[in-house]
């Protein structure tokens, strides 16, 4: 766990240790780690990654290597609440990225953006130039299409480390970004944050669901309407699997509590 976040409790959800705390508290812990200039990576995990980890031991290991796994998605937040952590807040990738970018701009903390297609990264660069003109961006990089389980790339790691970035935003999508971070983090003296599609939300290429849909746990439906071909199979499989495994997880939790 993060050295500067001993006050952040973690709770096991589907076998992974998930941060259970307030959004700002978790964000501050990530910033503290970034300021320390030590290697670390943060996974933003909702139903899809947690379901995938149940079936793929290598991916589970990638998640477990993170300094912190934060709860992206209302189902994960609800599971934490049902385990007794009702004050826990959702930490969605786009919200976390926006919060960290704002704080990094205020502190002059150097940041690096790695991932996305070239046109997506260009749109993000233009958007941030307007919303965060003083943000200290020390690198923009759109890599060629990587395999789902990318191998260690020493040149890329050296390039990012040489930039002195303290926050490295990784937008490669799940599971690619989790594997990538797990294999490159040790070679970079900064904190990597895997934020998936947040590049496109921050640039305005994709629109977030209305707050009411988000609070009801229906953001997945809004995204499905936006990108049906890409997301239909994922949601059918992993949302269903998450519900099943979460139910078993909660039954086990409640049984242990009753015996205690």
pLDDT at 186 over 60: yes
Closest CA to 80 of 26, 20, 24, 22: 20
pLDDT band at 3 (very low <50, low <70, confident <90, very high): very low
Q: Are 104 and 202 in contact (CB under 8 A)?
A: no
Q: Are 193 and 41 in contact (CB under 8 A)?
A: yes
* Bridge partners (DSSP) listed for residue 170: 114, 194
End-to-end CA distance of the chain: 27
pLDDT band at 182 (very low <50, low <70, confident <90, very high): very high
pTM above 0.75, yes or no: yes
51-104 pLDDT per residue, tens? 999 999 999 999 999 999 999 989 999 999 999 999 999 999 999 999 999 999
Q: Please tell me the distance from the alpha carbon of residue 175 to that of residue 45, in angstroms, as a whole number.
A: 10
Percent of the chain with pLDDT over 70: 97
What's the pLDDT score for residue 74? 92
191-246 pLDDT per residue, tens? 999 998 899 999 989 888 888 888 888 887 878 888 888 887 777 788 889 999 99
What's the pLDDT score for residue 81? 95
Residue 198 structure tokens: 């947040």
* Bridge partners (DSSP) listed for residue 44: 70
What's the pLDDT score for residue 210? 87
Buried b (16+ CB within 10 A) or exposed e, 63-90: bebbbbbbbbbbbbbbbbeebebeebbb
Q: Are 63 and 69 in contact (CB under 8 A)?
A: yes
Strands, DSSP E only, in 38-115?
Answer: 40-45, 68-71, 111-115
Percent of the chain with pLDDT over 90: 77
């Amino acid at each position: 766990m993060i050295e500067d976040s001993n006050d952040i409790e973690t709770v096991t959800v589907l076998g992974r240790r998930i941060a259970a705390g307030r959004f700002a508290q978790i964000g501050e812990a990530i910033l503290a780690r970034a300021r320390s200039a030590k290697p670390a990576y943060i996974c933003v995990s909702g139903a899809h990654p947690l379901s995938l980890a149940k079936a793929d031991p290598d991916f589970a290991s990638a998640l477990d290597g993170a300094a912190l796994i934060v709860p992206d998605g209302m189902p994960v937040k609800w599971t934490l609440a049902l385990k007794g952590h009702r004050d826990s807040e959702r930490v969605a990738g786009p919200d976390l990225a926006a919060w960290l970018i704002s704080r990094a701009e205020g502190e002059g903390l150097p940041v690096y953006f790695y991932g996305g297609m070239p046109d997506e990264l260009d749109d993000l660069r233009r958007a941030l130039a307007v919303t965060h003109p003083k943000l200290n961006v020390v690198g923009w990089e759109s890599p060629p299409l990587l395999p789902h389980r990318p191998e260690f790339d020493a040149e890329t790691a050296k390039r990012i480390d040489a930039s002195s970035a303290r926050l490295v935003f990784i937008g490669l999508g799940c599971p690619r970004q989790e594997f990538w971070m797990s294999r490159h983090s040790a070679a970079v003296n900064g904190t990597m944050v895997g934020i998936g599609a947040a590049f496109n939300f921050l640039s305005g290429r994709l629109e977030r669901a209305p707050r009411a849909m988000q609070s009801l746990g229906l953001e997945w439906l809004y995204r499905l309407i936006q990108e049906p071909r890409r997301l239909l199979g994922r949601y059918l499989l992993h949302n269903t699997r998450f519900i099943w495994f979460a139910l078993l997880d909660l039954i086990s939790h409640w049984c242990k509590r009753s015996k205690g």
